């Protein structure tokens, strides 16, 4: 009676690297951070400390935005 919900396709390392390079090559892009579903950086052009801190700032903005 119920259809199975479609599952997300698995993201391979090759897929992530290709997306990373594509975004990084765009004009006016300064830094790139790719996060996993948990919000942890997987790849980044930033140094490690900034790459870990940056997603937390976006999460804080998102939480505050949702309370408006």
Please say if the pLDDT value at position 6 is more than 70: no
Please say if the pLDDT value at position 1 is more than 60: no
Q: What is the pLDDT of residue 2?
A: 55
Which pTM value belongs to this model? Answer: 0.66
Q: What is the pLDDT of residue 39?
A: 82
Tens of pLDDT, residue by residue over 9-55, are 777 889 889 999 999 999 999 999 988 888 889 899 999 999 989 88
Per-residue exposure over 6-21, b if at least 16 CB sit within 10 Å of its own CB, e if not: eeeeeeeeeeeeeebe
């Amino acid at each position: 009676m119920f259809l199975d919900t479609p599952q997300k396709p698995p993201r391979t390392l090759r897929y992530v690297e290709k997306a990373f390079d594509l975004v990084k090559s765009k004009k006016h892009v300064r830094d790139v951070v790719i996060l996993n579903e948990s919000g942890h950086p997987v790849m980044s052009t930033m140094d490690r400390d900034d790459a870990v801190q940056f997603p937390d700032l976006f999460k804080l903005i998102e939480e505050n935005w949702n309370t408006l």
